[in-house]
């Protein structure tokens, strides 16, 4: 009998599953893809978009042709709940869909609670299409301002890359700009070597980005730092890491103390064997795994193999990451830092390597590789109705 397999989330972790289904159709199955947006933004290229190196369309992966090739029905809406007793996924569109197998990869949610008092001055980096629309509109509203002040809160790789990209973007407009990065000292490029942190600090200083080692809270119309200083800012970009989606808590699915889906090395829920999960929404129970696109992408083929194994009743595979992960951090000026364990390199060639890897990734998931042309407008549907002009640039 045909089994219904639903993928919830069309991001980094599920791209390999769709590619696998396109190459080798999943037998005896009725396949669905539920995603809050018709396009997935490749996050590694977002700083390059902000810095003006890429057009929006160059980092967008269109899920419609991917789903079509995978023989999956695409529904653009949010998953908002799971009834784990009856195996039913509830959608924001009002539908309840029964499943035999469910794979969750809807990513994490931006954690902006400490900044919420600043209202619409806060721009979370997730979801990426919403960030792109928000930044474009911020620049438009500030087009005649003599000076702009932007703070980036969060000192992980994304926060550092975005701070440098924003500095580049604001350098190109008339008037003065103040860019600040606020991060607790122990959160600044945590997990990277001291050499990488030192090189990144030198880049930030050289580009005039103020670095404040502090925690930030939004109140009384300003960004207050734990060292007592206050920053008056026009825009606060929240790169504060992700928290688990709230709807998971009521699903009955085993979650870790921080609320993420608990999975083993086979990417299967520890409580519900019909449910798999990968990417930023999980925490492994057998080991610590950073939340990163690298792990989301690399777990994808294992997830694909295990959905297949669950249907055929064969032995599942395990996702065992390598001991060291390669990270390439864009510096906003067509240079980048390579970070690999204790090894560090910096320069234009690192950027070229990153650019090649990133473009190749997006091209591999495009309907007609090699046919992306500058100036093509993509219609971008987002479940909450946000419109994103794909030709807009972060300049």
Q: Does 155 bind ligand FAD (CB under 6 A)?
A: no
Q: Does 159 bind ligand FAD (CB under 6 A)?
A: no
Q: Return the range that interacts with ligand FAD (CB under 6 A); candidates 32-40, 200-208, 210-218, 368-376.
A: 32-40
Q: Does 168 bind ligand FAD (CB under 6 A)?
A: no
Q: Does 244 bind ligand FAD (CB under 6 A)?
A: no
Q: Does 333 bind ligand FAD (CB under 6 A)?
A: no
- Pairing type for strands 101-104 and 275-277 reads parallel
Q: Return the range that interacts with ligand FAD (CB under 6 A); candidates 24-32, 137-145, 274-282, 336-344.
A: 274-282
The least distance separating ligand FAD from the CB of residue 334, rounded to whole angstroms, comes to 16
Q: What is the DSSP string of 56-101?
A: GGGGEEEHHHHHHHTTEEEEES-EEEEETTTTEEEETTS-EEE-SE
Residues 44, 162: contact at Cβ < 8 Å? Answer: no
The correct pick among 5, 6, 7, 11 for binding ligand FAD (CB under 6 A) is 11
Nearer to ligand FAD, 36 or 390 (CB): 36
Nearer to ligand FAD, 37 or 183 (CB): 37
**Angle (deg, nearest 10), helices 157-171 and 194-206:** 20
Q: Return the range that interacts with ligand FAD (CB under 6 A); candidates 100-108, 249-257, 337-345, 365-373.
A: 100-108
| Residues numbered 278-297 forming contacts with ligand FAD, rule: CB under 6 A | 279-281, 291-294, 296
Q: How many CA atoms lie within 13 A of 19 on its CB side?
A: 20
Q: Does 142 bind ligand FAD (CB under 6 A)?
A: no
Q: What is the DSSP string of 337-366?
A: EEEETTEEEEEHHHHHHHHHHHHHHHHHTS
| Residues numbered 34-93 forming contacts with ligand FAD, rule: CB under 6 A | 34-37, 40, 43-44, 46, 78-79
Report, in angstroms and rounded to the nearest whole number, the Rg of the chain calculated over CA atoms: 21
From residue 209, alpha-carbon distances to 158, 229, 235, 311 in Å are 15, 16, 15, 52
The least distance separating ligand FAD from the CB of residue 285, rounded to whole angstroms, comes to 17
Q: Does 262 bind ligand FAD (CB under 6 A)?
A: no
The least distance separating ligand FAD from the CB of residue 63, rounded to whole angstroms, comes to 7
Nearer to ligand FAD, 11 or 155 (CB): 11
> Which among 134, 128, 133 has a CA at the least distance from the CA of 39?
128
Q: Does 106 bind ligand FAD (CB under 6 A)?
A: yes
How many residues does this entry show for the chain? Answer: 395
**What angle (nearest 5°) sits at the alpha carbon of residue 104, between those of residues 98 and 105?**
145
Number of H helices, E strands in the chain: 8, 25
Positions in the binding site for ligand FAD (CB under 6 A): 8-13, 34-37, 40, 43-44, 46, 78-79, 105-107, 125-127, 158, 279-281, 291-294, 296
């Amino acid at each position: 009998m045909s089994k219904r397999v639903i993928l919830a989330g069309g991001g980094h972790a599920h791209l390999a599953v769709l590619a696998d289904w396109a190459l080798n159709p999943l037998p005896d199955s009725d396949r669905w893809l539920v995603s809050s947006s018709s396009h997935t933004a490749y996050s590694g290229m977002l700083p390059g978009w902000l810095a003006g190196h890429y057009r929006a369309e160059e980092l967008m992966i269109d899920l419609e042709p991917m789903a079509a090739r995978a023989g999956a029905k695409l529904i653009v809406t949010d998953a908002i709940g799971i009834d784990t007793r009856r195996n039913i996924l509830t959608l924001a569109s009002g539908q309840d869909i029964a499943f035999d197998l469910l794979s969750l990869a809807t990513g994490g949610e931006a954690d902006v609670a400490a900044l919420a008092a600043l209202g619409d001055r806060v721009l979370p980096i997730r979801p990426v299409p919403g960030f792109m629309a928000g930044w474009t509109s911020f620049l438009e509203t500030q087009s005649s301002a003599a000076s702009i002040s932007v703070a980036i809160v969060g000192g992980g790789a994304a926060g550092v890359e975005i701070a440098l990209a924003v500095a580049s973007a604001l350098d190109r407009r008339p008037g003065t700009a103040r860019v600040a990065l606020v991060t607790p000292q122990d959160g600044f490029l945590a997990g990277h070597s001291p050499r990488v942190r030192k090189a990144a600090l030198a880049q930030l200083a050289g580009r005039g980005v103020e670095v404040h080692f502090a925690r930030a809270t939004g109140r009384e119309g300003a960004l207050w730092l734990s060292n007592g200083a206050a920053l008056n800012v026009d825009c606060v970009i929240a790169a504060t890491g992700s928290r688990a989606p709230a709807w998971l808590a009521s699903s009955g699915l085993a979650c870790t103390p921080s609320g993420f889906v608990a999975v083993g090395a086979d990417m299967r829920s520890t409580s519900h064997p019909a449910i798999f999960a990968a990417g930023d929404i999980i925490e492994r129970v057998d080991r610590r795994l950073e939340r990163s696109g690298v792990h989301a992408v690399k777990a994808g083929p294992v997830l694909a193999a295990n959905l297949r194994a669950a249907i055929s009743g064969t032995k599942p595979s395990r996702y065992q990451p390598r001991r060291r992960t390669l990270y390439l951090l864009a510096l906003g000026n067509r240079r980048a830092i390579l970070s690999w364990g204790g090894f560090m390199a910096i320069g234009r060639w690192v950027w070229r390597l990153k650019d090649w890897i990133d473009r190749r990734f997006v091209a591999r998931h495009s309907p007609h590789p090699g046919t992306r042309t500058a100036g093509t407008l993509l219609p971008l549907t987002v479940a909450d109705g946000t419109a994103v002009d794909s030709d807009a640039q972060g300049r």
